[in-house]
Amino acid sequence: MMDYSNNILKDIENAEKIYIAGHVNPDGDAVGAAFALALYLKRLGKSPRVLLECIPDRFSFFFGTDMWYNGSYDDIAPDIFFAVDCGDLKRLGKAGEVFQRAKMTYCIDHHRTNEGLAQVDIINADASSASEIIYEILKQNDFDAEKDIEIASNIYAGMVFDTGGFKHNCTSRRTHEIAGALVEGGVDTSTIHSRVLYEHTLPQARLFGKALCNMQHKSGVTYTALTTADMEACGCTSQDLDGIVDFLLNLDKSECAVLVTQRSENTAKASIRSKQFPIADIVVALGGGGHKLAAGVTCDGSPAEVAEMIVEKIIEAKS
Supply the CATH number for residue 257's domain: 3.10.310.30
Q: What percent of the chain has pLDDT over 90?
A: 84
By DSSP bridging, strand 221-226 and strand 216-218 are antiparallel
Question: For residue 128, what are the CA distances in angstroms to 40, 179, 248, 268, 303?
Answer: 21, 11, 22, 27, 29
Taking the CA atoms of residue 35, residue 38, residue 44 and residue 45 in that order, the dihedral angle to the nearest 10 degrees is -120
Q: CATH number for the domain including 114?
A: 3.90.1640.10
Answer with the one of 129, 164, 197 that is the final residue of a domain: 197
Same domain, yes or no, for 175 and 213?
Answer: no
39-43, 166-170, 216-220, 301-305 — which is least confidently predicted? 166-170
Amino acid at 240: D
Q: Would 1 be classed as within a structural domain? A: no
CA–CA distance, 101 with 114 (Å, rounded to integer): 21
Q: Do residues 158 and 210 both lie within one domain?
A: no
Residue 3 lies in a domain: no
Question: Residue ranges of the alpha helices (H) in the chain?
Answer: 8-12, 28-43, 95-101, 130-139, 149-163, 173-185, 189-193, 202-213, 228-233, 244-249, 280-285, 303-318
Structural domain contains residue 264: yes
> Is position 132 within any domain?
yes
**pLDDT tens-digit series, residues 237-271:** 988 998 899 999 999 999 999 999 999 999 999 99
221 and 173 co-located in one domain:
no
- Residue 184's pLDDT band (cuts 50, 70, 90): very high
Judge if 241 and 174 occupy the same domain: no
Residues written for the chain: 319
Bigger pLDDT: 168 or 43? 43
**pLDDT at residue 5 greater than cutoff 80:** no
Residues 262 and 130 in one domain: no
167 and 294 co-located in one domain: no
What was the pLDDT predicted at 130? 97
Considering 143, 162, 197, which residue would you say is the last residue of a domain? 197
Residue where a domain terminates, one of 159, 177, 197: 197
Q: Which domain holds residue 143?
A: 8-197
- What is the structure's pLDDT at 1? 57
User: Residue 160's closest CA among 197, 186, 185, 133?
Assistant: 197
- The CA distance from 243 to 238, in Å, is 12
In a domain, 2, yes or no: no
Do residues 59 and 95 both lie within one domain?
yes
Residues 6+ apart with CB under 8 A from 286: 297, 299, 310, 313
Structural domain includes residue 87: yes
Q: Same domain, yes or no, for 119 and 178?
A: yes
Instruction: Note whether 129 and 105 are same-domain residues.
Output: yes
Mean per-residue pLDDT, 148-160: 98
Model pLDDT, residue 25: 87
Going by C-alpha positions, the residue among 270, 305, 276 that lies closest to residue 288 is: 270
Say how many Å lie between the first and final Cα of the chain, rounded.
36
Looking at 115-119, 183-187, 267-271, 308-312, which range is the least confident one?
Answer: 115-119
